[in-house]
Chain A
Amino acid sequence: MSFWIEQTFAGLSYGGLLFLLASGLSLIFGVMRIINMAHGSYFILGAYIGVTVVEVTGSWLLALLLASLAVAILGIFMHRFFLRVLGHGVAAELPQVMITVGFLFIIQQASIDIWGGDPMIVKVPSYLDWSMEIGGIFFPVYRIFMLVVACVMAVTLWLGLEKTRAGAMVRASVDDSEMTRGLGINTERLSMAIFGLGAFLAGLGGVIGGGFIGVYPGLDFQILPLAFAVVIIGGLGTLRGAALGSLIVGLMDTFGKALFPELSYFTLFAPMAIVLAIKPTGLFGRA
């Protein structure tokens, strides 16, 4: 019994981490129809910068803030100077993918040059680095924290999208970006803000994830398909989809690794195949 509780908890908290990554990916796609292949790179960059900030200042909270902001700035830079010029629409999709792949390789090599090839870990403050015992089962507090951050972010994003004027503009832009432009809303500025926000979330996920799975060369490529699996299952451009997809992928991945270590990645295949067979745009996605 304790195995199932422990693994479920591990899966849920891992899902929380994936939500930070995938919600940004999903938001960016929803507003701009850009698939950001460099999203995993934002994640590792957040983690690496987090490592350095903790080393230099000793403050983990500062690392959370600075690393996420730095990644957000990088995201805005990429969008402003490289992605915007490609325009909108289906014809721009593949070029946008290729440009972000280019950044993926550049960030990959830059992080090896700056931080070296050895695995690193973001040092977690001692008040989060212990385990809580409930009924004979140990729950790492850091994992509880990950889940809490994801929930807080999910609620904040949901409130922001549903209850604010900016959120209404974003939703309008997701539904029909041409019409939204026609109404006189500056979708360029909106796109920039959303790209920055998506990058911010990935950077935040990187610092938090860097305290738990660590960070090493190649992690960018490994985590990206998980984020993709989340949005394939949940549907692109929906917050609900990202949330549910994250939980499904988090649980499937964790149980897969625990129960069938040899076939662990295969356990992601099943839910994707089933969801797509029923609904090609994902559970909450719209065509």
Chain B
Amino acid sequence: MFSGRPRAVFTVLLVLVVLAAVTPFLPEYVCILLIQALIFGILAMGLDLLLGYTGLPSLGQAAYFGVGAYAVAILTTRYEFGFFPTVVLAILLSAAVAAIFGLIAIRAKGVYFLMLTLALAMVVWGLAWRWTSLTDGDNGITGIPRPELGFDLNSYINLFYFILFVFVLCLGALYVLVNSPFGRTLVGIREREERMQMLGYNVWLHKYLAFIFSGIFAGIAGVLWAYYKNFVTPDDLFIDVSVEALLMVALGGPATLVGATIGAGVIVFLRNYVSIYYSGWPYILGAMYIFTILYLPEGLMGIARRFRRRAETEKLDE
């Protein structure tokens, strides 16, 4: 859907421009939800690189998200680092953790990979929860200041534009990445790993790099999350974050990038609006997993694809 055709790129750009133009006129509540959707969109798109394009089902994205968020929290509140050093260090730390975990996880295949990434992420959660001298444990770290960049990020609309800007950068970077020879090789590995190996591609290195890139995007999302929320707790990197990221990708449609963001948006908005009227959100969330797998194997983007295919065949018939 977002695979190099100019029309698709145009559509996505148009949607982003409309979003930027309309948001100032929307209620602040909606603006906050959009901020959340964009942040989780970055997390989910990073996972899509790994799951959709490379075929590696990671259940540990919360780890790098959490490392990014906690790095911001600790560096700004305890050491009073400025914005740029904080962000650079936080992203480097997420990448470093992904690089260490990747060394172990890439050795495993299929469901082993899935279980391993989950168990490793739980180790990071355990540190956030128990290493109280560093993380303040269950209480979390409060009072993370919004960055000072010459305009007031304490207003939600400015924060929205800032995060939209970062989102567009991430989307652009991922778009270039998946359409590069590197990205095409990842798809090749997903489809037929042995053949790529035989053709002389370094399969391990490609997977490993994809793993680290995915961790970096999760880290960026974590950094934004910490700045947006002003506090972090161990809950921010619990398993359900990883598991929800997986649903966002599956719901939107794997290997589409924008699909992951649509999935993130659907979940963020549904959760908030449903919770106003009904306290049993996990029932709906659980049902969404089951429904998506049984009835939407290609995700929401798959529906659009089906319509377009039908339209094209009708045109041919004429």
B163 touches A (CB below 8 Å): no
Report A-chain residues with C-beta under 8 Å of the C-beta of B287. 102, 106
Q: Which of A175-183, A206-214, A223-231 contacts B (4 or more CB under 8 A)?
A: A223-231
CB distance from B198 to the nearest CB of A (A): 19
CB-CB under 8 A for A109 and B282, given A86-B293, A99-B289, A101-B289: yes
Contact B123 A266 (CB under 8 A): yes
Tell me the interface secondary structure of chain B in the complex.
helix
Return the chain B residue nearest A218 by Cβ: B238
Contact A263 B116 (CB under 8 A): no
Contact A109 B286 (CB under 8 A): yes
Report B-chain residues with C-beta under 8 Å of the C-beta of A109. 280-283, 286
Which of B104, B132, B250, B280 makes the CB contact (< 8 A) with A277? B104
Contact B111 A33 (CB under 8 A): yes
Tell me the interface secondary structure of chain A in the complex.
helix
Report B-chain residues with C-beta under 8 Å of the C-beta of A103. 286, 290
Contact A263 B130 (CB under 8 A): yes
Q: Which of A89-97, A148-156, A184-192 contacts B (4 or more CB under 8 A)?
A: A89-97
CB distance from A220 to the nearest CB of B (A): 10
**B residues 132-169 with Cβ under 8 Å of A?**
132-133
Which of B110, B118, B126, B293 makes the CB contact (< 8 A) with A95? B293
Report B-chain residues with C-beta under 8 Å of the C-beta of A139. none
Return the chain A residue nearest B107 by Cβ: A280
Report B-chain residues with C-beta under 8 Å of the C-beta of A104. 286
CA distance A277 to B281 in the complex (A): 41
Return the chain A residue nearest B121 by Cβ: A225
Q: What 0/1 pattern do residues 260 to 287 of A give for CB contact below 8 A with B? A: 0111111011001100110011000000
Contact B119 A106 (CB under 8 A): no
Return the chain B residue nearest A220 by Cβ: B239
CA distance A229 to B115 in the complex (A): 8
Contact B293 A262 (CB under 8 A): no
Return the chain B residue nearest A287 by Cβ: B109
Contact A221 B116 (CB under 8 A): no
Report A-chain residues with C-beta under 8 Å of the C-beta of B104. 272-273, 276-277
Contact B289 A102 (CB under 8 A): yes
B57 touches A (CB below 8 Å): yes
Return the chain B residue nearest A229 by Cβ: B119
Report B-chain residues with C-beta under 8 Å of the C-beta of A82. 290, 294
**A residues 98-114 with Cβ under 8 Å of B?**
98-99, 101-106, 108-110, 113
CB distance from A188 to the nearest CB of B (A): 19
CB distance from A44 to the nearest CB of B (A): 14
CB distance from A64 to the nearest CB of B (A): 28
A236 touches B (CB below 8 Å): yes
Contact B114 A97 (CB under 8 A): yes
A43 touches B (CB below 8 Å): no
CA distance A273 to B105 in the complex (A): 9
CA distance A263 to B123 in the complex (A): 9
CA distance A35 to B112 in the complex (A): 9
A232 touches B (CB below 8 Å): yes
Contact B131 A106 (CB under 8 A): no
CB distance from B274 to the nearest CB of A (A): 12
Contact A97 B127 (CB under 8 A): no
CB-CB under 8 A for A262 and B132, given A82-B290, A90-B110, A102-B289: yes
Contact B122 A276 (CB under 8 A): no
CB-CB under 8 A for A35 and B114, given A102-B287, A225-B239: yes
Q: What 0/1 pattern do residues 217 to 258 of A give for CB contact below 8 A with B? A: 000010011001101100010000000000000000000000
Q: A93-B114, A262-B130, A268-B119 are in contact. List 19 more A-B contacts (CB 8 A).
A: A35-B111, A98-B250, A98-B292, A99-B290, A105-B285, A108-B286, A113-B280, A225-B239, A231-B115, A232-B116, A263-B130, A263-B131, A264-B130, A265-B122, A265-B123, A272-B116, A276-B107, A277-B104, A280-B107
Contacts from A to B (Cβ < 8 Å): 29, 33, 35, 37, 82, 85-86, 90, 93-95, 97-99, 101-106, 108-110, 113, 221, 224-225, 228-229, 231-232, 236, 261-266, 268-269, 272-273, 276-277, 280-281
Contacts from B to A (Cβ < 8 Å): 57, 104, 107-112, 114-116, 118-120, 122-123, 125-127, 129-133, 238-240, 243, 246-247, 250, 280-283, 285-290, 292-294, 297
